[in-house]
Structure 1
Amino acid sequence: MPNSKTSYTRRRAIFQGGVAAATALTAPTFFVGKAHAANEKLKVGIIPAYSFGLYWLIQDQGFAPGVEMEFSVFPSGPPAIEAMVGGSVDTITVGSVPPLAAMFRKVADFREISICGDASGLFQIVGKPGMNSLADLEGKKIAVTSGSNFDFFLGVALANEGLSDMPLTRVNMEPIDGQSAFIAGAVDATVPLATSRKLIYDALPDASLLTEGSQIPIDKRPSIMDVFMTTQQSLDAKEAAYVEVVRAFHDQAVKMLREDNAATIERMIEWQTGMGRAGVTAADVEPLLNGYFYFDKAEIKEVYEKGILTNALRVQSEFLVANERIGGMPDLDALVSDQVVKQI
């Protein structure tokens, strides 16, 4: 049943109170990587999470010589989906929750053609100094992107503690804005983006870690996949390019990550620096990059053959429906497509 005790406010109401917005992550489109004679171009919308950075690594290392990827950066899934629907990008890296609402609304013929990584262990809920547990969120304001992986994680974490009906106010914000609001004291807690949450602890050393995915027992931990998604129209038009890029991800990029982790970390520092995060160090990158579970070629085939992604999306969809984030179940059989994975 939906939680009638939970209220929602919009980010505008918070910022009208005087909170300054953080630097936007919607950076201009940029090209980075080794020059090669590409036969096809893919315009990729990317969110600055490290599992997604492996697609930048493919371009950087020349692992898919037949494809040139042009990257545009987005702060979260919803604006990336909007850009893909509008045609400014062909494909996006995105958390698995935002596409579910869009698929239910039948915005486009979306297809999740691969998985970047399982990110469930990386999520955190951070509270203001003095908080000790999730129960301390009662009656408080928490910044979280509505209908996102962050929102799903918050809901599961509260449910695991028997706190689903606890009154609190979710403030709908992009992760980077929620982080700024939290630091400024406009909200009491936030579910931050992993790649930028270090700034919270730098600004508020006494901020409280209320829970994180790695602390939740495996049998209760939400499965939160980061996916590679496009539309059926784009997939049909550029199928060979998608096959080459996805093969490179699960073969060469994952192999480099596992066998030469230090070199991969150095390249991720370069990637983050290109997005204006010049202060990132290897110590910052290593736990976040390696906190995901990545699938090699054999493993990703098994995920699709056994319906593991579909089952994870079904659990998430049921959560969204029960909590009135979406009006009904999306067509998961259409959303999860093995058109590419079966060819790699």
Structure 2
Amino acid sequence: MNDRVSPRVTGDAQYAAWQRRETPPVEQVRPGLWSIPLPNPDSGIRYVLCYLVEHDDGVLVVDPGWNDERSWVALVGGLQRAGRTAAEVSGIVVTHAHPDHLGGARRLRAESGAPVLMHQADQALLPVDAGDPSAILDRTGPWLARQGCPPQLVTEFGTDTAELATYFHLSRPDGFLEDGDRLPLAGRDWIAIHTPGHTPGHLCLHARDERLLLTGDHLLPRITPAVSAFPASGPHPLASYLRSLSRAGALDVDEVLPAHEWRFAGLAERSEAVAEHHAQREEEVLALLADGPAPAARLTEQLTWSRPWSDIRPSMRRMAVAETVAHLQLLRDNGQLTVEQRDAVDIWQRADLAAAPDELATTAGGDELAGA
């Protein structure tokens, strides 16, 4: 969802390109630090900002983009612009295990021999068998049905081979970065900050002496990163995200380098704006549930999104449901909601308006839920 509060733009060329719906240029952000936009195919977020960090023993690549030929060509071109080659890459750090960040790591590792590093918690997002989607189908299809999703949306997930395929070319890591670990950068002092929420193992990278923070998808200048409660998202994803937001927002930096859109200043203010967005979303959920108990899928259709629900494609509808469930879980953990399963569907209700058992059974009839 888009936010109304925008921080101060520092990546002027990136911002101008975004306004023109173009790809921004490769830029030297600081001495020995380069920003390389890599195409993000079939996405409204048109590119991933990959970063090259030069150091005494080579160059570290952060978020090498999709497993896609266009992305690879752009990465090689960015290395050349920095006067480097893939053979000089000494390490590959991935802020989180989503295909638009981790997908290109396999080819870059093969070309360079560099290890792929990420946080251990994101291994839960990677398939055990690179050729078998059954594990993802087995856990996600029934989960969607339990949220009251219509059968068509659940069935589409199992047949959406293009979406599933993006997860079966992801490189498994060679090593892990934990909270507070120094990055393998000879002569530079960068540390990993564990910021779970968008994924269980999401990392921000803090260049303390350079007063910079690479935020991956944890914090973006224009949109609110998705925080979803899918089966592999870990416990309490939104509570984890809000704690991470507060912690990262307190860092003293001059500039934020996100993985999408453009560089900006005002870390604390942007963090506060995103936290306020989530507070407003919680109020919206509570207001909807004042009309009576409902499953997550029905609530999702009634919430405010950046475009009409009828214009949102199925893959994004599934993400929207998972975001709604994350808010529902947080409100439950805070004692404001309760949940009961009726006809194999989770029904949420306000704790202060809990329905009597006979009323709940009437409200949550199985026929009505099947079309939610």
Shorter-chain TM band: under 0.3
Instruction: Please give the TM-score of this superposition, normalised by the length of structure 1.
Output: 0.24
Q: TM-score, normalised by structure 2?
A: 0.23
Determine which structure has more spread, i.e. the larger CA radius of gyration: 2
Name the structure, 1 or 2, with higher relative contact order (CA <8 Å, separation 6+).
Answer: 1
